[in-house]
Structure 1
Amino acid sequence: MEPSKKTQHRGTFECELCGLKAPYSYYGQKPPNPYSVAMEFSLPSLLEESYVMKDPFTSDKDKFLILGSRCNLCRKCVCVGTECSLFYSKRFCLPCVNLHLKEFPLEIKQDLEKKTHSKSQSSKTKDSKKS
């Protein structure tokens, strides 16, 4: 593959939950340089088929960011943001996690409860500042 084609825009990734849109250059488990994406894990490939883009925050053309993937249950396209999805051996959107919460380990349930609690606390704080 030619170097210029490595990071060529292939389409636009859009999270079906939050609406995040970004151009992606690759979809799959083995980006052109997988070590630049998963370097900290020393993986030759990604753990899931992912939408990947060139990292806009570095001049290193071999660095990539993972934008998102498809939910393993409903197949919606979701970003990796903690408000939209989680990765537990596979990618799951939070609506599916909540629907199937009994099937996830206790740690996942506790993490979601903490998120929900902290989110409700922050919205109460915002509301009190408006008054």
Structure 2
Amino acid sequence: MEFKKEPQPQGTFECELCGLTAPYSYYGQKPPNAYSAALLEESYVMKDPFTSDKDKFLILGAQCSLCHKCVCVGTDCSLFYSKRFCLPCVTLHIQEFPLEIKQDLEKKTHSKSQPSKKRDSRDSKNP
């Protein structure tokens, strides 16, 4: 009788941009127990801690294909467009990306620079 062990942590993943840290159990394109999944990039992967299903996993991050920094998959740190790119490299090479990527990046930087000005309706009556 053969049974599979739980993947043990191999090390600690750390995003070089935001500082996110998490233990990873696999690095590569074919996570263990994920028979039908093949990732498009070499990724840091951990077993999904929110489920008992051993076939479920979370992708933590990967290396930027330009500068090779280790970055998480968070939208504030990187994007995947045929390869993983950190946002600083996207900004530096923005002219080489499609218009949709440029527009998304502009929206993101514009929304971060504009503070939210939601006001309560009572505020307008009392200055």
What 5-or-longer segments of structure 2 have no aligned partner? 120-127
Residue 118 (structure 1) aligned with residue 111 (structure 2): yes
Residue 7 (structure 1) aligned with residue 7 (structure 2): yes
Larger radius of gyration: 2
Counterpart-to-counterpart distance in 2, 1:2 and 1:98:
48
What 5-or-longer segments of structure 1 have no aligned partner? 36-42
TM-score by length of 1: 0.83
Cα offset, 1:119, TM superposition: 1.1
Counterpart-to-counterpart distance in 2, 1:9 and 1:24:
5
Contact 2:31-2:37 at 8 Å conserved across structures? no
Structure with more helix by fraction: 1
1:45-60 equivalences in 2 (<5 Å): 45-60=38-53
Cα offset, 1:34, TM superposition: 3.0
Q: How many residues align structurally?
A: 117
Provide Cα deviations, 1:36-95, integer angstroms capped at 9, x if missing partner: xxxxxxx64100000000001111122100000000000000000000000000000000
Residue 103 (structure 1) aligned with residue 93 (structure 2): no
Of residues 53, 66, 70, the one that matches 1:73 is 66
Helix, strand or coil at the partner of 2:17: coil
Provide the identity percentage.
Answer: 79
Cα offset, 1:2, TM superposition: 6.3
Q: Which amino acid aligns with 1:91?
A: R
* Runs of 4+ that moved beyond 3 A: none
